[in-house]
Chain A
Amino acid sequence: MDFSFSEREEAFRREVREFLDVSNPHRVVAAGKDAQSDDDVESAMDRLPKLLAWNQALVEKGWVGFHWPKEVGGGGGGLIEQMILKQESGKARAPMLGLSYMGLAWVGPGIIKYGTEEQKRRFIPAILEARDHWCTGYSEPGSGSDLASLRCSAVRDGDHYVISGQKTWTSLAMWSQWMILLVRTDPGAAKHLGITCLLVPMDAAGVEVRPIKAMNGETPFAEVFFNDVRVPVENRLGAEGQGWDVTKHALANERSSIAEVTAMVNHLEDLKRLAKRCRSNGRVAIQDPLVRQRLARMETMIEAMRLTGLRFLTKQLRGHEVGAETSVNKLLRAELEVEIGRLALDIEGRYGSLVKGSPGAIDNGKWQRQALTWPSYVIGGGTPNIQKNVIAERLLGLPHDA
């Protein structure tokens, strides 16, 4: 075991810090006492010019697509440096390391692995420069956890596919230029094998987007309808029938969960400060033994997540695959996301019911937003029950239940 960093890695850390001191558009927030609720989608749109400048500054450094190969325009960086970059920018509460969120998270990696040279040239630079935003068309009304049962179909017609059907819960659909779409091309094949991946322009004729309002009042996702939408065959990613593999392998290329962990460390710091400011049950909340137990338990879980992430990273650095184990951290995260909002509102006591804009609202309703937004993280990427199935079946060898 060795938790030190090499001289080169430390130099890189200094470089990142210097960069953030100048370029981080949130540096005022980071320096201030408590972050406001400035991370919701709408206000992100208001701050767009600043964010685009941030993206540009990152691109010039080669820090968008940090771990992607240089040939496609990525940074060609190592996993440890990538972790340092995420750690430092997280600590500084900087925006994401590149604005094209899904483009960077899985569309880009999918194109790099399965795409043609032409697709790489066409899509990768636009993702890096945040010209193209992507959305993900996997889930359907009838296919959520059982994604492979999807029915939205594409039929080959000459050198085009004709798509008809519906997707739902499509995050950012209304702001995206492109969608990575899973369709059924072979209804006769076994359910995992009849699926193909297509790259679809959102302005294609026959694509209709209907936004869906979430319980936090925001509109993070939409239903997307396809009425005989024609896309050229060259927009297919991977081979016909290979869509399932493309999806599986396209997932994030780094398994240390470091970005999520740093975000939660920030939450924890803010929660401790909150507990020093608020009174609950007749005393300052930080003196309440129950609050203290919950804070300490939260810290312990976050630290466990951080360290388990480092074990995964080490495994990757030693050239091994990291697979089903990542569900361990996903489950911890799910528990933490719920508990963060719950604890904050408990600490605030009666004031915990006041949302953004209300007289008396604490931290401008940031914790209420957390308490109303956790399902994005808990349900969005595979529900806890599904993660538990993965662990039980793949790590403990227990039988499949379906």
Chain B
Amino acid sequence: MDFGFSADQEQLKAQVRRFLDSECPMDRVRQVMAAKESHDRGLWSKIAELGWPALTVPESFGGLGMRWEDLVVIAEEMGRSLFPSPFLASAVAARAIALMGSEGQKSRWLPLLASGDLIATLAILEDSDDLSAAGIGLVAESDGEHVVLSGSKMFIPHAQAAGLLLVAAREHGGISLFAVPADAAGVTVTPLRLIDQSQRAARVTLAAVVVESSDRIGEPGAVWSDLAAVLDAGTVVLAAEMVGAADAALRLAAEYAKVRKQFGHPIGRFQGVKHRLAEILVDIESSRSLVYFASWAVDHQEDPRGAVSMAKAYASQALDRAGEEGIQIHGAIGFTWECDAQLYYKRGRYCRNLAGSPEYHHERLLSVQGI
């Protein structure tokens, strides 16, 4: 029994932190927010040089074969810096290929993903509020050799940066997954305007897009449970980012509370301020425990859904409170565009209902227990 970071993980965390501090301070994040580009190519090539995209790709396909727990260490740091990058979305897509792809598909895509020459993302969910297979309506029609995909995907993370889309489609009454080059004829990527400008997401429309049947990942109509597991692994990473963002919001507010004086004292002396900060710390430590455990559970537990749901639900609460309170503790300054408090708040608004609201995850926690 050991529930802490290993020496390697501590080292990884320190490396990532050093990089983010020097290469991605908040003004860089703000540049990305203001930019029209799909992503910050400069940042991407730097992290590709450092080998980050290779971290969780299996060693036999050009990666470093690290575990999902290790990715969570990084994700938390990225959340702390509101790192504006398709990095995590692409890592989750790589996990799908690694777990579900044939040898041929793995050797075709994974080395490209590991080197950073290719960015991928999962294009699973659509306009439906149903997060299960029933929410997928995009149709795949096959004539044996070719498959025609028609339909529309919504809230696809970082689709505008991706060269490869992993598209879930309805086929044979079940769900299939296809590797679709983003530049295939009939694919349209329409960027969404998000409340959190440091993030990117898009609507992806497939108008009779033709792919080879060899681009089908896994069995026709039979991949939903595997895909749902990958989505859950992605949810854990998202929750880790949220914990990091919440922690950064807390630290920013706590530092401000030490220097801003009113009534002759630092405002951090007033319990209306200090107790709120303490409550946020409790939320953060609690969700951190749940997130670390869930990151272990996705690779070690038969059914990690409960662990994942608890992590996402609690992380949402932590970031909700840290984001909102972070603004209030800054007073009017907190309402300004210039103050970073708003950035964490926006991240919280964006993430809360992404990959399932806390209410959804509470309900799922009971239903996976048969209650």
A292 at interface (Cβ–Cβ under 8 A)?
yes
* 16 other A-B residue contacts (CB within 8 Å) besides A80-B1, A296-B366, A311-B4: A2-B2, A9-B1, A286-B371, A292-B362, A293-B362, A296-B362, A300-B314, A304-B314, A307-B3, A308-B289, A315-B4, A385-B275, A388-B275, A396-B250, A396-B277, A398-B258
Taken together as a complex, chains A and B put the C-alpha atoms of A397 and B269 apart, in Å, by: 10
A148 at interface (Cβ–Cβ under 8 A)?
no
Residue of B nearest to A395 (CB): B281
Chain A interface: which size bin? 35 or more
Residue of B nearest to A318 (CB): B4
Taken together as a complex, chains A and B put the C-alpha atoms of A338 and B278 apart, in Å, by: 19
Which chain A residues lie closer than 8 Å to B300 at the CB level?
A: 3
Contact string against A for B residues 257-281, beta-carbon threshold 8 Å, 1 for contact and 0 otherwise: 1100000011011110111011101
Which chain A residues lie closer than 8 Å to B296 at the CB level?
A: 1, 3
Does the CB pair B271–A385 fall under 8 Å? yes
Which chain B residues lie closer than 8 Å to A71 at the CB level?
A: none
Does the CB pair B366–A398 fall under 8 Å? no
Taken together as a complex, chains A and B put the C-alpha atoms of A121 and B299 apart, in Å, by: 51
Does the CB pair B2–A392 fall under 8 Å? no
B37 at interface (Cβ–Cβ under 8 A)?
no
Most B-side CB within 10 Å, residue of A289, A389, A398 = A398
Could you jot down 8 A-B contacts, CB within 8 Å? A1-B295, A4-B1, A292-B366, A297-B313, A300-B365, A388-B278, A389-B275, A391-B278
Chain A interface secondary structure, helix, strand, loop or mixed?
A: helix
B290 at interface (Cβ–Cβ under 8 A)?
yes
Residue of B nearest to A79 (CB): B1
Does the CB pair A398–B254 fall under 8 Å? yes
Taken together as a complex, chains A and B put the C-alpha atoms of A397 and B278 apart, in Å, by: 11
Which chain A residues lie closer than 8 Å to B313 at the CB level?
A: 296-297, 300
- How far, in Å, is B106 (CB) from chain A's closest CB? 26
* Residues of A participating in the B interface, judged by any CB pair closer than 8 Å: 1-5, 9, 80, 83, 272, 286, 289, 292-293, 295-297, 299-301, 303-305, 307-308, 310-311, 313-315, 317-318, 325, 328, 331-332, 385, 387-389, 391-393, 395-401
Taken together as a complex, chains A and B put the C-alpha atoms of A5 and B273 apart, in Å, by: 42
B363 at interface (Cβ–Cβ under 8 A)?
yes
Contact of B268 among A318, A331, A398 (CB under 8 A): A398
Residue of B nearest to A305 (CB): B286
B287 at interface (Cβ–Cβ under 8 A)?
yes
- How far, in Å, is A110 (CB) from chain B's closest CB? 28
Which chain B residues lie closer than 8 Å to A5 at the CB level?
A: 1
Does the CB pair A389–B274 fall under 8 Å? yes
Which chain B residues lie closer than 8 Å to A311 at the CB level?
A: 3-4, 289, 292
- How far, in Å, is A317 (CB) from chain B's closest CB? 7
